[in-house]
Amino acid sequence: MAVRAVRGAVQLERDEAGHMDEQVSELLTAILERNELTTDDLISIWFTATPDLHSDFPAAAARKLGIVDVPLICAQELDIEGAMPRVVRVLAHIASDRSRADIVHVYLGAAGALRKDIAQ
C-alpha cells in the first residue's frame, strides 16, 4: 500500500454555510467513490478556500460526513487578482494500491477549468 494524493475543487455559487456544506460534501463523496476509497483509507485532508469565503470551515462538511478520526486542516488560498472566486480546494492524502496514474482527481462544475490537465 502506498501513500498517494488526490486533488479536487468546487466553486460555490454563494458564501453560505449550508451551501458550502452541501458542495464540499458532494466533492468529498465524489473523491471517495471515484477512487474506491473508504474513510479508513484517508490519512489527512487539506482544505483551502478563496479569501471571499467566510461562512464556515470546509472541514466541517467532512466531519458531518463521518470523517471524524482523520486529521483535517483549513487554510486560505492566495488572493491572486483574476483568480476564480468562491473556490474550495482539497488535497487528500490516502493509502491506496492505485498507481499515481490511476488516481482520479475531482473538479466539480466550473472548477474543472482550474486543472483541465487532471480533472475527471
Annotated binding site: 7, 89, 107
Report whether 74 contacts 11 (CB < 8 A). Answer: no
> Could you tell me which residues are annotated as the binding site for prephenate?
7, 89, 107
- Residue 99's Cβ-count burial label (10 Å; 0-12, 13-18, 19+) is exposed
User: What does the alpha-carbon distance between residue 23 and residue 15 come to, in Å, rounded to a whole number?
Assistant: 11
